Structure 1
Amino acid sequence: MQFTKTLMLLAALTSGSLANVDKRSTLIPVASPTSSSPSSASSSSSPSSGGGSSGGSWTATPSSGSYSTEGFGSRTSSGGGGITYAGNTGNPWGSNIIQVSESDAANYKNVAQFKGQNEESWNVVFFNKCGPDGEMTGWYGNSALTFELAAGDTKYVAFDDDSRGGWAASSGSIPTDNNGGYASTWGEFDFTSSSNGGWSGFDVSAIVAQNAGLTVQGMSICDALGSTCSSINPDATSVDNAYTTAETDIGGIGGNLSGGGAVRLAVTIDYKG
């Protein structure tokens, strides 16, 4: 089974019909990068409900076989199909994406570890494909979670099932295009997708940044339980299994993970190769 293109299609949309609509006046502003969403703040201090993990690493899984949902909001129903498919965006919106502690990370099903090759602080903002308005506007000023990644920091983020979205990262403020969309390099994800038979997928994409004529930041995402990676070096001097504008219409690039089991993504911000 080839995993269909997931969040890459969001980047492609910014050069399509959505690019002609200024969404900024109808969307909430992104939170300060040093703040957390209410759900992420509560989850980081809450005990996990998944039981002890089999091993001490964040890549381990619960020995009970039951994954924690502590800190997530309720799941929203899916709708649409194909490019307009709306996955779980959390209720309240964005509560499907939470920051967790290193000790709790192994108890969740879908987890990403964030490190960096950065020598200064970088800001990372997370968004669902669909915004609070229910349209494909999630990356237009919305924030499910934000944090600052200082040099040497390691942070962990858990994602509820059927979550589809991305994150943008940059030193300083996240750049935006003329329509107010996040226009740095993106990491894109689709976890335990109900529209793709439970498969998960990920990729790095520079499409939005390149379409806006802005800087392409380096980023790498690797499947920590396998061998697949997707990466882009600064200014797209090296691209491996990732999206640039040249691959806008190509599906299946990035990581395609079958089985519906645990996903562990190792993310490197400001990746230089």
Structure 2
Amino acid sequence: MDGWYGNACHNFTLTPGSVKLYAFDSDSQGGWAAAPGSSIPTNDYGSYASTWGEFDFGSTVNSAWSGFDVSAIQAQNADLTVQGMKICSAHGSSTCSSLTSGAEIVAEAYTSDKASVGGIGGNLSPGPVRLAVTIDYSG
């Protein structure tokens, strides 16, 4: 779990309108951070502190269910800018998790006041998962 402390496995820059594709095996968990510029902001402890997306695909401990969500918890706790992000299931479901810049509009996403709440975001029954992510989402 040291990936949030400057040990990202992959860094890249997205230009407006660009698309990146990634594939993961079943029973994979992970996440990504997104922010404008060439680096991800960090908090006083060195942890990435931006808007992020996270996922759990075909989880063995959850009877092969999958889940995903957008989170602004770390950015808000560090008093940093919350960037908009939207994640939607693009395979057999229209389930989404999103928030706009500054977390002005929040839908099935984590904010600091909901850090201890479970089950927010997309919860998908067993089977293939395809997610579509919009960075800098504005509603």
TM range, normalised to the smaller chain?
Answer: over 0.9
- State the SS of the aligned residue for 1:158: coil
Report the counterpart of residue 35 of structure 2 in structure 1. Answer: 170
- TM (normalized to structure 2)? 0.95
Question: In 1, Cα distance between the equivalents of 2:24 and 2:81?
Answer: 28
C-alpha RMSD of matched pairs (Å): 0.9
> Greater share of helix residues, 1 or 2?
1
Q: Within the alignment, does 1:233 sit opposite 2:103 as a pair?
A: no
The one-letter code matched in structure 1 to 2:123 is N
Q: Paired residue for 1:254, among 121, 125, 130?
A: 121
What stretches of structure 2 of length at least 5 have no aligned partner? none
Report the counterpart of residue 243 of structure 1 in structure 2. Answer: 110
> 1:188 Cα deviation (Å)?
0.8
- Work out which of the two has the higher radius of gyration on C-alpha atoms and give 1 or 2: 1
What stretches of structure 1 of length at least 5 have no aligned partner? 1-129, 131-136
> 1:158 Cα deviation (Å)?
1.0
Report the counterpart of residue 24 of structure 1 in structure 2. Answer: none
Structure 1 residue ranges (4+ consecutive) displaced by more than 2 angstroms after TM superposition:
none
Q: Paired residue for 1:160, among 22, 25, 32?
A: 25
Instruction: Report % sequence identity.
Output: 64
Report the counterpart of residue 144 of structure 1 in structure 2. Answer: 9
> 1:144 Cα deviation (Å)?
1.8
Count of residues paired in the alignment = 137
Q: Paired residue for 1:195, among 58, 61, 86?
A: 61
> 1:160 Cα deviation (Å)?
2.0
> 1:221 Cα deviation (Å)?
0.1
Question: In 1, Cα distance between the equivalents of 2:79 and 2:8?
Answer: 23
- Equivalent positions of 1:53-64 (< 5 A) are none
> 1:138 Cα deviation (Å)?
2.2
- TM (normalized to structure 1)? 0.49
The one-letter code matched in structure 1 to 2:17 is G
